[in-house]
Amino acid sequence: MTKIGIILGSTRPGRNGEAVARWVTEIASRRDDAEFELVDLADFPLPHLDEAVPPSMNAYQNDHTKAWSAKIAEFDGFVFVTPEYNHSTSGVLKNALDYLYTEWNNKAAAFVSYGGVGGARAVEHLRLIASELQLATVRAQVAISIVTEFENYSTFKPGDHLEPQVGVMLDQLVAWSKALAPLRAGSIDLDELEESVAA
């Protein structure tokens, strides 16, 4: 069964993201085409990147890195739930992404964002980061306005129009996660594929 991690990308006290991530997880739990698990970055306290060598070398020294690696390796795709801070994503989510490399490769990613303009600018940055990590991002995303969908900017009350958007996003994410399975399994040789395309 395809397994999708829903990553809660904020650890701030009183964060709005927890309600958003739980809402997405509840919607996803009604599906039977994949398994979904909420992954809270607060449960994986990662200091600022403190590994001596690049993550692409798979030579982790620290227990916190090894625990994070093991968790992310379980999944075939991801939903990143992100706030928008200063026209970008949260520092804690960027740091968590930077810790790993191969664990992200050849998997699919989708985004649920929230903020003044629905968190759209955070997702634009995340798409660039995901590309470098060889995460294939799906087009559909859910952008949630902090003005219209949060009472007093703090109590999440999603409008009915948002749930169908989550469904479309998950449709695309599950499909892409499954389509990329041969790459993850190593049954497609990327070097040979590049040579055949170039020929």
Percentage of the chain lying above the pLDDT 90 cut: 92
DSSP state of 85: B
CA quadruple 16, 19, 22, 23: dihedral sign: negative
- Residue 91 CB partners (closer than 8 Å, separation 6+): 85
* pLDDT of 190 higher than 70: no
Token pair listed for 110: 């989708």
pLDDT at 197: 67
Phi, psi of 81 (to 5 degrees): -100, 115
Instruction: Kindly report the pTM of this predicted structure.
Output: 0.93
Task: Sketch out the chain's domains with CATH numbers.
Answer: 3-198 (3.40.50.360)
Residue 158: both structure tokens together: 């999603």
Q: According to the model, what pLDDT value does residue 186 have?
A: 86
pLDDT at 45 over 80: yes
Q: Would strands 35-40 and 3-8 be described as parallel, antiparallel, or unpaired?
A: parallel
SS3 label, residue 154: coil
Q: With a cut of 70, say whether residue 193 has pLDDT above it.
A: no
Instruction: Give the span between the Cα atoms of 154 and 16, in whole angstroms.
Output: 6
